[in-house]
């Protein structure tokens, strides 16, 4: 018997019993749809992570967090600026940050106050939309000037009946000190570290006085050559090692790539577990097909007897039932892929993220589901092929 003929016969038989076919493919269908939807969801969340990490700064940025442990607990602004001497470092922006209370009229909000230098604008790529930036004279003179984020401006001025976009020139108090707002920052949205628009920036020297701190808490750096990032990180670490007298716990150097890797490894672990669950559901689906095929063999014993008496060899019957099982599981797989696509689309809409179904996952799911058909179809097919025609014909 020819292969195509066997295939045609099996497809015909599968299609002639629609309800049974649908019911038996349901397991595989749901399994494959789950795989597709889960992978799409995983992709969506890793895309989200990538987006958030990139919002931490451009790929050429690097940051040093001073944790303040050990004997030397801090770096001064000048010491921080010395990092600019490291080769490949393009910009240094030391920051000291604290939580302060900003007040305007009767409204008071708790807000992150960062003491910055003039380099902040360029290093963090965070310009003003109105007014001017903090300049070197402000730092030298400990001027009480401030830049305000759009969210904080809204919080502070809206309740007082003032227009937040006209914040420049207004006078506010921060922890009791009077400040003049000289610039309104661009909106930057939120990142992993929280909203970038809920902050007030003041000169670093002023901040040290207001909050009675010395030194800086974070140093933002940019490199000129991104490909040399690893070498630069090592060089920066060497300088810090010296400054903190060998206490490696006192600081941490983070670059964007590293942050992405850390977050993605978490994502990957989760995805892998989801795939295991999906594989188990595919196996359960396969067992469902096996059940139905076994019932089908019993039900069609007479048909098998007739076919055998007319000249169907063992392998013809084996092939027929195997192809039927593969048709059911393959069809289930194909429909599952369709359902998975729809599900991933809906998930994307609900979660408001970009879902993505990788094409190799689709192939893998399809091939795996067909394979399930072969594996779980073999036992029933073998049972059918092994029937003796005399017994099979007598069966009612």
Partner 1 sequence: MNAAANIPLIEMSNITKSYVMAREKTTVLHKVSLKVDHGDFLAIVGPSGSGKSTLMNIIGCLDLPTEGSYKLEGLEVTGQSDNKLTEMRNKKIGFIFQGYHLLPKLTALENCELPLIYRGLSGKERRLRAMDALERVGLGQRMHHRQSELSGGQQQRVAIARALATNPPMLLADEPTGALDSKTGMEVLGMMEELNRAGQTIVLITHDMEVAKLASRTVIIRDGVLSEQAQERRSSDETYARLQDGSQERIVQQA
Distance, CA of 264 to CA of 258 (rounded, Å)? 10
- By beta-carbon proximity to partner 1, the closer residue of 234 and 309 is 309
286, 377 contact by CB (below 8 A) = no
What long-range pairs does 245-248 form, CB within 8 A, spacing at least 24?
245/70, 245/71, 245/72, 247/69, 247/70, 247/71, 247/72
Task: By CB under 8 A, name the one of 111, 123, 236, 312 that touches partner 1.
Answer: 312
Taking CB under 8 A as the rule, does residue 314 contact partner 1?
Answer: yes
For residue 79, state whether it binds partner 1 (rule: CB under 8 A): no
Choose one: 4-12, 18-26, 183-191, 254-262; the region binding partner 1 (CB under 8 A).
4-12
Q: For 355, left (φ over 0), alpha (ψ -120 to 50), or beta?
A: beta
Whether 132 and 148 have beta carbons less than 8 Å apart is answered as no
Instruction: Tell me: does residue 296 bind partner 1 (CB under 8 A).
Output: no
Query: Candidates 102-110, 131-139, 150-158, 387-395 — which segment interacts with partner 1 by CB under 8 A?
Result: 387-395
* Whether the Cβ atoms of residue 119 and residue 108 lie closer than 8 Å to each other: no
Cα-based torsion angle of the residue sequence 265, 271, 276, 279 in order, rounded to the nearest 10 degrees: -140
Q: Which is nearer to partner 1, 1 or 266 (CB)?
A: 1
* 7 vs 345 by CB, closer to partner 1: 7
Q: Are strands 190-191 and 194-195 parallel, antiparallel or unpaired?
A: antiparallel
Specify whether the CB–CB gap between 347 and 37 falls below 8 A: yes
Span from 10-18, 66-74, 98-106, 173-181 in contact with partner 1 (CB under 8 A): 10-18
Q: Which of 245, 287, 309, 351 binds partner 1 (CB under 8 A)?
A: 309
Query: Site for partner 1 (CB under 8 A): which residue of 5, 76, 99, 273?
Result: 5
The dihedral through the CA atoms of 106, 112, 117, 119 has a sign that is negative
Question: By CB under 8 A, is residue 299 in contact with partner 1?
Answer: no
Question: Residue 345 Cβ, how far from partner 1 at the closest point, in Å?
Answer: 38
- CA-to-CA separations, 208 to 92, 136, 203, in angstroms, rounded: 18, 16, 9
Q: Using the rule CB under 8 A, is 310 a contact of partner 1?
A: yes
Q: Which stretch binds partner 1 (CB under 8 A): 133-141, 145-153, 298-306, 327-335?
A: 298-306
Indicate which single residue of 120, 307, 327, 333 sits in contact with partner 1 (rule: CB under 8 A).
Answer: 307
Q: Could you tell me the smallest distance in angstroms from the CB atom of residue 312 to partner 1?
A: 5
Residues forming contacts to partner 1 in the complex (CB under 8 A) are: 1-2, 5, 9, 12-13, 16, 302-303, 305-314, 316, 388-390, 393
């Amino acid at each position: 018997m020819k292969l195509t003929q066997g295939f045609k016969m099996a497809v015909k038989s599968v299609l002639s019993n629609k309800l049974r076919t649908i019911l038996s493919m349901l397991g595989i269908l749901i399994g494959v749809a789950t795989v597709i939807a889960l992978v799409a969801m995983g992709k969506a969340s890793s895309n989200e992570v990538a987006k958030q990490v990139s919002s931490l700064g451009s790929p050429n940025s690097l940051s040093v967090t001073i944790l303040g442990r050990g004997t030397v607990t801090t770096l001064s602004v000048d010491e921080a600026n010395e990092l600019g001497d490291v080769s490949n470092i393009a910009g240094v922006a030391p920051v000291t940050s604290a939580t302060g209370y900003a007040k305007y009229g009767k409204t008071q909000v708790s807000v992150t106050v960062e003491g910055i230098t003039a380099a902040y604008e360029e290093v963090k790529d965070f310009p003003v939309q109105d007014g001017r930036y903090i300049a070197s004279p402000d730092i030298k003179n400990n001027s009480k000037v401030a830049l305000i984020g759009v969210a904080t401006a809204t919080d502070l001025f809206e309740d007082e009946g003032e227009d937040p976009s006209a914040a420049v020139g207004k006078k506010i108090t921060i922890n009791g000190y009077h400040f003049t707002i000289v610039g309104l920052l661009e909106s930057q949205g939120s990142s992993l570290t929280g909203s970038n628009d809920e902050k007030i920036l003041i000169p670093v020297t002023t901040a040290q006085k207001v909050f009675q701190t010395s030194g800086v808490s974070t140093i933002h750096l940019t490199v000129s050559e991104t490909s040399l990032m690893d070498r630069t990180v090592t060089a920066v670490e060497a300088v810090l090692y010296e400054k903190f007298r060998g206490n490696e716990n006192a600081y941490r150097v983070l670059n964007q790539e590293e942050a992405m890797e850390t977050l993605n490894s978490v994502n990957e672990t989760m995805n892998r577990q989801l795939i295991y669950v999906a594989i188990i559901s595919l196996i359960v689906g396969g067992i469902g097909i096996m059940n139905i095929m076994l019932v089908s063999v019993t039900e069609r014993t007479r048909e098998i007897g007739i076919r055998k008496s007319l000249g169907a060899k063992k392998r013809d019957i084996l092939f027929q039932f195997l192809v039927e099982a593969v048709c059911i599981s393959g069809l289930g797989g194909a429909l599952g892929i369709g359902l998975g696509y729809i599900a991933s689309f809906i998930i994307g809409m609900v979660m408001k993220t970009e879902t993505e179904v990788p094409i190799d996952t689709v192939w893998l799911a399809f091939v795996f589901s067909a394979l399930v058909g072969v594996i779980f179809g073999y036992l029933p097919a073998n049972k059918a092929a092994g029937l003796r025609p005399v017994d099979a014909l007598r069966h009612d």
